[in-house]
Each structure stands twice: as C-alpha cells, then as structure tokens.
C-alpha cells in the first residue's frame, strides 16, 4: 500500500522568503511522485513530477523538489516566495504494481499563505 | 495540445434530485479518465476510473455512478442526491508516457446540495 503525509496543513511565509513544503511517502516499490497546486475554486495543476530519472526535479513557477529515498521524502521548495504562490499544494504518490497501478494517492494538502 | 472541459461550473440542487456532470477531453485518444470529489477538509477522494468506453471501476460504494459513452467523454450521475454529495468534483485524464501516466485535471464543478 502507498501513502503520503504532508507535514503542516498551513504554512505561512513572507514575500521573498524561502518556501518549503514537506512531503513524506510510504511505498513498498519505487514510487512516482507528483506535486500539484490548486488555486481557489480551480482544478489541480501539475507543478512537477519524479519518474526515477534525476532526483532533483524542476517544475513550473520556480518550484523544485528533491527525491530522497533514504528519507522517503519529496519536499517542495522555492527560493523566493511571490504573492501569486498563495494556494493549496498537494503531494501525490503512484506505483506501477499490482492491480491498482492507476491509483494516485494524495496527501491532505498544505495551504500556503504569502504575507506582504 | 490537450484540454479538458467540465460543466456545469457550479450547480445547486435539492436533496433527492438527479445529477449529471459531464467531462470531455480534447487532443488525445484513449485516455484513462477519473472522477474525484473534494469535500471540505477531506482531501481528494477517487470515485471512479475508466480505461475505455464502457469500462468503469468504482472506488467507493455510494449513490453515484459513472458512464463513458464515448472515448473522451465521462459522465457522473446520481438518481437521488444526498446532502453528503456536496463538494467540488474534479475530472482528470491521463495517458501512459515516460514509464507512468500523469493525471491532468479539469476546472471542476462546485456542487451544493440543499
């Protein structure tokens, strides 16, 4: 079985500060990992994904994430927060194993607030 | 490029009324299609999954059903809505590429059952 834990349901940063959103996963086989962003009353937009190539993955809007197998983590970072980054962020895991290889398991989300 | 449409964008329905939400995908063939529900404070819940026309897998028992009458059309229905059916419904599509399939989401439908 696979699962995702996002530490911190709400993270608040100042504009220009580092953004760090934490994601830990549990999987018995090599995982595929995703970060999505959701703005109010909109669908989820893919930020980036890890598919077992480079462990440091760069995404859209200046975000990046690093896959650390030893820590079972896939934390999302951005060096300098912008007001437009305020949104909810979801980490998700998927594995190609068994009969549920289509299933994407989501974390509960982290709401990012950016203060001026 | 691929696009995904959902309608209506918002819907207010009384308890016990029927429901039909529609999702269509353009620019791809034979996608996997998904329906999710996002209820307040409960994260994303996968409701249905489809790998092809007429092929529907249900993830959770409920009073909702799904159908796929055409390759790029996915419909979510109910005969009688419950208060607990309120939420934000998201459709998604995926195709296999680079070793796995990545899901892309539509704009969503906000359903309020009164």
Query: What share of chain A in percent tops pLDDT 90?
Result: 75
Token readout for B100 is 């796995």
On chain B, the residues whose CB falls within 8 A of the CB of A106 are 43-44
Determine contact: A31 vs chain B, CB below 8 A. no
Query: What share of chain A in percent tops pLDDT 70?
Result: 93
Are the Cβ atoms of A32 and B100 closer than 8 angstroms?
yes
- With a CB cutoff of 8 Å and minimum separation 6, the contacts of A110 are A6, A8, A9, A10, A11, A21, A22, A88, A89, A90
Chain A nearest-CA distance from B90, in A, is: 7
* Predicted confidence (pLDDT) per residue in B26-42, tens digit: 998 889 999 999 987 77
Would you say A6 and B44 are in contact if contact means Cβ atoms under 8 Å apart? Answer: no
* Predicted confidence (pLDDT) per residue in A51-101, tens digit: 877 899 999 999 999 999 999 999 999 999 999 999 999 999 986 655 555
CA atoms within 13 Å, Cβ hemisphere of A72: 14
CA distance A110 to A8: 6
Chain B nearest-CA distance from A45, in A, is: 7
The pLDDT of residue A52 is 79
Residue of B nearest to A107 (CA): B43
Residue of A nearest to B96 (CA): A102
Selecting from A32, A44, A51 the residue whose C-beta is nearest the C-beta of B90 gives A44
Place of tokens 């791809």: B28
CA atoms within 13 Å, Cβ hemisphere of B83: 1
Q: Give the start-end residues of each E strand in A15-109.
A: 19-21, 24-26, 32-38, 44-50, 56-58, 64-68, 73-78, 87-94, 105-106
Of the pLDDT bands very low, low, confident and very high (cuts 50, 70, 90), residue B105 is very high
Are the Cβ atoms of A51 and B100 closer than 8 angstroms?
yes
Chain B nearest-CA distance from A113, in A, is: 17
Are the Cβ atoms of B46 and A104 closer than 8 angstroms?
yes
Of the pLDDT bands very low, low, confident and very high (cuts 50, 70, 90), residue A28 is confident
Determine contact: B56 vs chain A, CB below 8 A. no
Would you say A48 and A34 are in contact if contact means Cβ atoms under 8 Å apart? Answer: yes
Buried-state track B9-24, b at ≥16 Cβ within 10 A, e below 16? eebebeeeeebebebb
The pLDDT of residue B43 is 83
Of residues B61 and B62, more confidently modeled:
B62
Residue of A nearest to B107 (CA): A43
Is the preceding omega at residue A10 within 30 degrees of 0, hence cis?
no
Would you say B76 and B35 are in contact if contact means Cβ atoms under 8 Å apart? Answer: yes
Helix (H, G, I), strand (E, B) or coil at A72: coil
Determine contact: B8 vs chain A, CB below 8 A. no
- With a CB cutoff of 8 Å and minimum separation 6, the contacts of B96 are none
Mean pLDDT of A8-36: 93
DSSP symbol at B62 = S
CA distance A100 to A115: 41
CA distance B72 to A2: 29
């Amino acid at each position: 079985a696979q699962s995702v834990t996002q530490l911190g349901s709400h993270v608040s940063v100042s504009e220009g500060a580092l953004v760090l959103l934490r994601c830990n996963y549990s999987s018995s086989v090599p995982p595929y990992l995703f970060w999505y962003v959701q703005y109010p009353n909109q669908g989820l937009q893919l930020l980036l994904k890890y598919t077992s190539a480079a462990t440091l993955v760069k995404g859209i809007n200046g975000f990046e994430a690093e896959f650390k197998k030893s820590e079972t983590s896939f934390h999302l970072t951005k060096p300098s927060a912008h007001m437009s980054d305020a949104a909810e962020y979801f980490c998700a895991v998927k594995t190609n194993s068994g009969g549920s290889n289509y299933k994407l398991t989501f974390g509960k989300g982290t709401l990012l607030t950016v203060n001026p | 490029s691929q696009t995904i449409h959902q309608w209506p964008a918002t819907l207010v329905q009384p308890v016990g009324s029927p429901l039909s939400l529609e999702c269509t995908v353009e620019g791809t063939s034979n996608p996997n299609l998904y329906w999710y529900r996002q209820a307040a404070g409960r994260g994303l819940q996968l409701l249905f999954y489809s790998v092809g026309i007429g092929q529907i897998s249900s993830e959770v028992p409920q009073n909702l059903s799904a159908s796929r009458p055409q390759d790029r059309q996915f419909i979510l229905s109910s005969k009688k809505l419950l208060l607990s059916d309120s939420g934000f419904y998201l459709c998604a599509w995926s195709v296999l590429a680079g070793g796995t399939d990545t899901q892309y989401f539509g704009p969503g439908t906000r359903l309020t059952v009164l």
